[in-house]
Every structure is written in C-alpha cells, then in structure tokens.
Amino acid sequence: MEEDTKLIEAAKSGDKIAFGKLVKQYEQLVYSFSFKICRDKEKADEVMQETFINAYRGLKSFSGNSKFSTWLYRIVTNNCLMMHRKKSHEPVVSLEDSDLFKGTNELQVAHWGETPHDAVLNKELKEVLDAAIEKLPLDYRIVFMMRDVEGLSTEEVGKSLKLSVPAVKSRLHRARLFLRNELNPYFAK
Amino acid sequence: MTLVDHKKYLLEICEKVDQDLASPTCKKLREHLEKCPDCAAYYDSLKKTIVLYRNYDVEMKGSRVTQILARLDLDEPLQITLPPKGPGQDRNKKHPH
C-alpha cells in the first residue's frame, strides 16, 4: 500500500516508469474484473486498456481516500457501461418491477449437490454460470461482482457507483436471488 | 412450516449469506437454519452461488504494459520489474469478508 502511494505520487509527477509499474501491478486485477462484467475476453482486454488510459489521464483526481484498486474498479464499470450503451440496445437499468425478477422471491427449495470447491471449473459449468449472469442486467451484475466476488464493502460499492447503501443492498439481494434461481435447475438434486 | 413462514426468512437469508453465522446478529437466523432443512438448503445454495462466481476467474495472456504506454505516447520503460511478493502480499487475494 505504501509502495502504491509512492508509485501513484511519482506517476502524478510524470514518472513514466512509475505508471508502468502500476499498470503491471494492477493489469491482471483490472482484466479479471472487466471480464466478470463484460463476460467476453476480447472486450475485457479492450476495457482493461481503456481503464489504464483513463486512469493515467485522471490520475491527478485520485485523492487517495479510497484504495487505488477501488478507484480502478469505478473506471472499469464506467467503461463497461459506455461500451454496453454503444454496442447494445438492451437497457442498462432495468425497471424495479421487471419481469426478470418475478418469482425470485419465491422460496424454491432444493438441495444442491456438491459444487467444485477449488478454482478449477469445467467448461460446462462455466457455460452455465455465463448464461445465468448474462441474463442479469448490467447494473445488478456490477453490484454483485463488486460486493460478492471482489469483496468490496457495501459502502465502497455505493460510493463507487453513486448509489445509496439501501440501493446497493436491494440490487445485491435481487442479483443473488436471480442467479441462485437460474443455477437451481443445474444443481438441484 | 408453511411457505409463508419460510418466506419470512428469505430476506434475512439473502442479507446475511455473506456474514459469519456465529456472530450475535445472526443468532435468530442460525437457530432457524438448525431446525429448518428447507431454509438450510436454500441458504447453502445461495452461498454456493456466490462461491462459484468467486472461483470463476480468467488469466491474462501476457502483459499489456507496452501497448498501454504506447497508446499514451509514453516511452516503454525498460524492464519493469516488481518487487517479489512477501508473505501475505498476494495481489490476487480477495478482500476478507
């Protein structure tokens, strides 16, 4: 963290090597998060590169009040939302009473079998996970990924996305139930 | 227990799925899960949903430092190396909950 602060300060002063080191240090994290939102490796690569370009140009506005990674996550989400608007006709923000979430408040009880415990997921399972999350509107997907997958606090997610804490909780709640219900047919015994 | 009774716990299960059930704030839910197999199964499936997405990660194929710096019209810094990771400094480690 202290090392990051030094690199950021040096990069702000125009130290190219310092910025290069920051890119090197965070590129995997940014790429991985970009993929989790875009669900496409090519788009993730594009978003990752754009994110560092935006970060360099806006580095002076980074105050250090949040972690550098949290600041990068915010740029990634903005880039993903912009790319989505350009390339898709699907609305980014779904209506609260969208048909998509109908039934997610029903308790569909089913006992799931064992799921893989380690990070090695097979191709079939990855396809199931991709299909489920691709159905989830982007604004819900982003909240789920930031909070549950990347482990940011509810407050950090709210601050990054300019959402109130109750709004983050509401989207997270819906996203969790939606994904669980989408995966239910695959895992239910 | 009726479906309506179960549904009372749905919101709480969803809110607390990422919390430590041993904590005092989860006492009531923990007690319910211990005696209700249906809600326990639901809780388990919700938790597994999160773990599955957490485990689904992708690795970059090669660094993009050169391309990014070139796009910024910055000279490519030669031999950028990072200090070796010390114990407990895994950069890919997720934030603790």
Distance from CA of A148 to the nearest CA of B (A): 7
ipTM, two decimals:
0.86
Q: How confident is the model at residue B30 (pLDDT cuts 50, 70, 90)?
A: confident
Going along chain A from its start, the domains and CATH numbers come out as: 2-87 (1.10.1740.10), 99-187 (1.10.10.10)
Query: Which of B19, B25, B23 shows the shortest CA–CA distance to B46?
Result: B19
Query: Which of A96, A79, A72, A85 shows the shortest CA–CA distance to A37?
Result: A79
Q: How confident is the model at residue B28 (pLDDT cuts 50, 70, 90)?
A: confident
Please state the pTM of the whole predicted model: 0.82
Is pLDDT of B93 > 60? no
Contact call for B42 and A109, based on CB within 8 A: yes
pLDDT tens digits, one per residue of B11-26: 778 777 887 777 887 8
Average pLDDT value over all residues in chain A = 87
Spatial separation of the C-alpha atoms in residues A172 and A152, rounded to whole Å: 12
What are the boundaries of each domain within chain B?
Answer: 3-55
Helix segments in chain B, DSSP class H: 3-16, 27-35, 37-55, 65-71
Contact call for A16 and B94, based on CB within 8 A: no
Is pLDDT of B2 > 60? no
Among chain B residues, CA nearest to A35: B58
